[in-house]
Amino acid sequence: MPTTVNAYAAPSATEPLIATTIERRDTGENDVLIAIRYAGICHSDIHLVRGDWGPVTYPQVVGHEIAGEVVEVGSAVTKFAVGDRVGVGCMVNSCRECENCLAGMENYCLKGNTQTYSSVDRDGTITQGGYSTHVVVDQDFVLRIPEAIPYEAAAPLLCAGITTYSPLAHWNAGPGKKVAVVGLGGLGHLAVKIAAAKGAEVTVLSQSLSKQADGLAFGAKDYYATSDPATFTELANTFDLIINTVSSADLDLNAYLSLLRLDGTLVNVGAPAQPLPVSVFALFGNRRSFAGSGIGSIAETQEMLDFCAEHGVAPEIEVIGAEQINDAYERVLRSDVRYRFVIDAKTF
Ligand code: NAP
Ligand code: ZN
Ligand code: ZN
């Protein structure tokens, strides 16, 4: 018998999220049932419920930054026990047999991984995300939260943390490397903290200097306003790596590419609905690369959680009740987030 649980759902692309109930499947033999403690609000939740990325089946519960406690395990579960502190990120399954899955990179599953929300699940239902009290997830897609990380701080690491950790690791952010982070929001502030913890020299490129003191406190060495044209002349040919977290396509990408030094790479993790115009001439100079990166594998997500525990990296969070979700969305859209909203699941 599926269990009915409280949740907050979007009824349509244009209406506010509302309190509702959803059905969670029975705990299967490989599943764990998680009592959710906290769920982070990612900008992707807003893109998705508002239809930015295409049609959605409503009502839809979003949320893919989930932290909670195991309250039941299936008969074949070996990795987790009741009482364990666990997390769930952006994906809950993958095909497990394609080249990328076999290489341990389920996030790049060639058949498309099963996303935590708004994906067709194995049983044909649409997955419903973490803005709810409980979730049932296959043990292979569940992460272990280190003791040093409180539940509410763990939640944003499950998407914002891994999405920035993965490209920083892949493109070798570390001592001697100059890394720029564009946009000091949920992803951006964790990118700054993680890159600094890896030993890179970090610069924030923000729309204004209003968050400069924060950026420097998070570990950045420099902080520039992109509204000032002088920033682009002063920083030309400077960075080995630029992580672009901006959620809008309304940004002159070629100007940012001009800031890369020889063999530098600009990695887009921001996911705007509209295409970004790239001039090949901006890539010819300095043999520059323009790349993308999507979340991270399960193994790398565990590595990231352990890294954050070891290095004391934690997100700056504002804990809210479920009734504040719609206001929080408006604040995220106004770039007025400091720096991640996290919903207390007791309020669903
Ligand atoms: P967020 O908290 O809203 O942060 C985005 C930041 O971008 C803002 O705080 C703002 O920083 C800057 N910004 C916003 N609009 C801008 C504009 N028009 N021009 C210049 N800068 C602007 O969002 P988030 O949760 O970090 O997510 C960021 C993006 O990453 C979203 O598109 C999300 O869907 C995507 N995402 C992708 C992945 C992936 O796997 N690739 C995973 C998670 C999220 P300043 O005020 O400092 O300029
Ligand atoms: Zn996300
Ligand atoms: Zn696969």
Token look-up 């769920």 returns 39
> Where along the chain do the CATH 3.90.180.10 domains lie?
3-150+315-347
Q: What is the pLDDT of residue 134?
A: 98
**CB-neighbour burial class of residue 148 (10 A; exposed 0-12, middle 13-18, buried 19+):** middle
Most informative mutation of 246, 251, 340 for ligand 1 (most atoms within 8 A of CB): 246
Specify the ligand 1 atom closest to the Cα of 43. 25
Question: Whose C-alpha lies nearest to ligand 1, atom 32?
Answer: 247
CA of 96 to the centre of ligand 1 (A): 31
DSSP character at residue 161: I
Q: What is the pLDDT of residue 59?
A: 98
Which distant-in-sequence residues (6+ apart) come within 8 Å of 25 by Cβ? 2, 31, 123, 125, 136
The ligand minimizing its distance to the Cα of 112 is: 3
Q: What are phi and psi of 184, to 5 degrees?
A: -100, 70
Q: For the chain, list residues with pLDDT below 70.
A: 1
State CA 115 to chain mean position distance: 13
Most informative mutation of 214, 245, 269, 330 for ligand 1 (most atoms within 8 A of CB): 245
Q: What is the pLDDT of residue 154?
A: 98
Which structure tokens are listed for 339?
């720096």
* Number of helical H runs and strand E runs in the chain: 11, 17
Round to whole Å and give the CA distance between 107 and 92: 10
Which structure tokens are listed for 49?
């419920």
Token look-up 């499950």 returns 158
Over the range 44-83, which residues count as b (16 or more CB within 10 Å of their CB) and which as e? bbbbbbbebeeebeebbbbbbbbbbbbebbbeebeebeee
Specify the ligand 1 atom closest to the Cα of 183. 11
The ligand minimizing its distance to the Cα of 270 is: 1
Strand partners of residue 178: 201
Whether pTM exceeds 0.85:
yes
Q: What is the pLDDT of residue 188?
A: 98
The ligand minimizing its distance to the Cα of 110 is: 3
Q: What is the pLDDT of residue 123?
A: 87
Q: What are phi and psi of 179, to 5 degrees?
A: -120, 130
CATH of 160-292, one of 3.40.50.720, 3.40.50.1820, 3.30.70.80, 2.170.140.10: 3.40.50.720
Topology, domain 3-150+315-347: Quinone Oxidoreductase; Chain A, domain 1 (3.90.180)
Specify the ligand 1 atom closest to the Cα of 248. 18
> Where along the chain do the CATH 3.40.50.720 domains lie?
160-292
Any residues with Cβ below 6 Å from ligand 1, and which? 42-44, 47, 159-160, 163, 183-188, 206-207, 211, 245-248, 250-251, 269-271, 293-295, 332, 335, 337
Question: Whose C-alpha lies nearest to ligand 1, atom 1?
Answer: 185
Question: Whose C-alpha lies nearest to ligand 1, atom 25?
Answer: 43
Which structure tokens are listed for 65?
């930054």
CA of 20 to the centre of ligand 2 (A): 22
